[in-house]
Amino acid sequence: MAKPQEGRSRVVVEHVEPQIDCGLFPIKRTVGDLVSIEADVFGDGHDHVRARLLFKEEGASSWQSIEMLPLGNDRWRGVFPVDKIGRYRYTVVGEIDHFETWQSDLKKRVEAGQDLAVPFATGGALLEQVQLRASKQDSTKLAGWAKKLRAAGSKDDAAVAFALQDELLAAVHRYPDATLETWYERELEIVVDRERAAFSAWYELFPRSWSPTPGKHGTLRDVANRLEYVAEMGFDILYLPPISPIGHSFRKGKNNAVEAAPGDEGSPWAIGSTEGGHTSILPALGTLKDFTNLVKRAKQLKMEVALDIAFQCAPDHPWVKEHPEFFKKRPDGSIQYAENPPKKYQDIYPMDFETANWQGLWEALRDVFSFWMDQGVLVFRVDNPHTKAFPFWQWVIPELKEKDPNVLFLAEAFTRPRVMERLAKLGFSQSYTYFTWRDTKEELTEYMLELTTTPIKEYFRPNFWPNTPDILPGHLQTGGLPAFRFRLVLAATLCSNFGIYGPAYELGDNTPTKPGSEEYLNSEKYEIKQWDLTNPASLKPLITRLNQIRGANPALKSNERLHFHPTDNPMLICYSKRTADGSNQILVVVNLDPSLVQAGWIDVDLAALGLAADGTFEVYDLLADHSYSWRGSRNYVALRPAEAPAHVFRVAPAKV
């Protein structure tokens, strides 16, 4: 092995965390976060080691430096804030700290009663070496200090006190010897998003079902005129399925019938017709001006519009004629429609990401996002991103963030775990999850711990949906409104991002096409629905209250510090969230049984909540507006599913 360029660098820097796949992908944070970085930093022998955390915004010419603190066993930690949206870089630097070593040795020599003349001279020499690298002002100080140490006597108590001052070490630390530093082998990256990436409440609706006149096709204007309904519930993202023209060829009928009857509206995901493609609007919904007015109206109500982007085409999409190379052809020359055997989707042509014109395809798809961004859309729900090439997402998401770093992407990818994780690594801001199918206490606990305590937490932001237009889970079919209630509480409090497909959710729509199916009977995907928004059984009051609770309690705005507390009843799940400083603490208990009253004892982990072992503390139920005084760890609850399926407690020490 060849000699190194600099063999005097004696420190090792390794195991820097967090990092994703050896630094191949960035970790994720939101504006205002404190980023905690750890590393192993050590050297040979007994000399002291200094470790520094370096960070900077992408493109900055110089690094900012933070002293790392020792955790023991050669592990170090440093923390720095990210206060701007964009990309940051960080790395770790280590060096032998000769001056701190000298100070430590001086203390030992004083305690041993040794002659200090030579040690003082050594300290002076170290300061003189640093003086050569220092600024003019500090150089003068260092020269004076060095002279003072060299002049000290062998038993000079005043010189000892002077030599051990923190000011001397701080001055030395300002001017490290770059030739002897060891830098970590790579620079690591962070993507910093706006707060909505980490905390959001989504409401999905089909504009065509939003007309106040029964049987009439709804419009974007209708949505804008009735948007207070959504705003009153406290949602901050209005999510619309595709609003582009719907294909006529092979259009699906009601309940996904292979052939459409006259007047059937078709699926919004069969995109494109002679009326236009991905950057056009279905004429029955209105105009581009109507859409931009909806975006403005949403903003007035403190919401923003998220648009569904589905990269697939109906057979009469303009691209089929303009760019036939974008699609895969069968041996007979016809274009291959989408299939998931035995299912056939004759109304949809998937894109061919292996086309020879892949660059043209990529640019055309990027331009779809770019067009809607120009109309004021900065949140996109992407349909089935796992069926598109990974390299495309790795390219297009940073490209669009360069256009506007505020843009966010939700991956609708109910697929294999590694595929979902890869999409998150590639840049998707949020992701759908398996929450919809996690039913038992054990399943929910295990899944949440995976999402919040493993390396996944560094890049995968979950978004919990208890239902979608594609998924009516079995527990909602059999559990009725009580199941809708407790699943809503779980989604809204377990996860900082959640969403519902409404009004199907608040009105308890739970009829499947057939037993064992997760498809809705008379699905809104294929027909216009008429919703009674004034139904007294609506869950709107509960939804509204939960969103109010989420907005007023910072502990629920993050998935950090989620902690599960044991219960003696498997149908009761208990968990807490708290802020980093402990100023806000939420304890949630949910009855997972939609049919029966469930009661039991909770073993509250008082230490996790910063409470005294045998003290009294107050729990205030934010749903029921009622306060209880609890003492010690073991406390009793009983929950009736039809009335109060959950407690959402704000926890505070008892008032003296």
Partners of 340 in the beta sheet?
343
Interacting residues of 260 by C-beta distance below 8 A, sequence separation 6+: 251, 252, 253, 266
Decide if 542 contacts 488 (C-beta within 8 A). Answer: yes
601 to 144, 472, 610, 632: CA distances (angstroms): 69, 32, 20, 12
Decide if 258 contacts 252 (C-beta within 8 A). Answer: yes
Separation of alpha carbons 366 and 349, rounded Å: 18
**Residue 383 annotated to the active site:** yes
Catalytic residue among 204, 304, 308, 383: 383
519 to 208, 220, 468, 469, 616: CA distances (angstroms): 20, 26, 10, 8, 49
**φ, ψ for residue 180 (rounded to 5)?**
-110, 5
The single-letter code of the amino acid at 640 is: R
Separation of alpha carbons 453 and 457, rounded Å: 7
Decide if 88 contacts 82 (C-beta within 8 A). Answer: yes
DSSP calls for 431-462 = E--SGGG--SHHHHHHHHHHHHHSGGGGT--B
Separation of alpha carbons 71 and 38, rounded Å: 9
* Dihedral over alpha carbons 329, 332, 338, 341 (to 10 degrees): -130
Length of the chain: 656
Decide if 615 contacts 654 (C-beta within 8 A). Answer: yes
Catalytic residue among 412, 506, 527, 593: 412
DSSP calls for 321-345 = HH-GGGB-B-TTSPBPPEEETTEEE
**Residue 412 annotated to the active site:** yes
Decide if 317 contacts 247 (C-beta within 8 A). Answer: yes
In this structure, the strands spanning 34-43 and 200-204 are unpaired
Decide if 304 contacts 294 (C-beta within 8 A). Answer: no
Decide if 117 contacts 153 (C-beta within 8 A). Answer: yes
Number of H helices, E strands in the chain: 15, 29
Decide if 537 contacts 481 (C-beta within 8 A). Answer: yes
C-alpha angle 91/194/444, rounded to 5°?
90
Summarize the chain as % helix, strand, coil (round to 5): 30, 25, 40
**Can you list the alpha helix ranges (DSSP code H) found in 164-227?**
166-173, 220-225
Pick left, alpha or beta for residue 432 (phi over 0 → left; psi -120 to 50 → alpha; otherwise beta). Answer: beta
Whole-number CA gyration radius for the chain:
31
Decide if 601 contacts 566 (C-beta within 8 A). Answer: no
Separation of alpha carbons 611 and 601, rounded Å: 18
Interacting residues of 71 by C-beta distance below 8 A, sequence separation 6+: 38, 77
Q: Just list the catalytic residues.
A: 383, 412
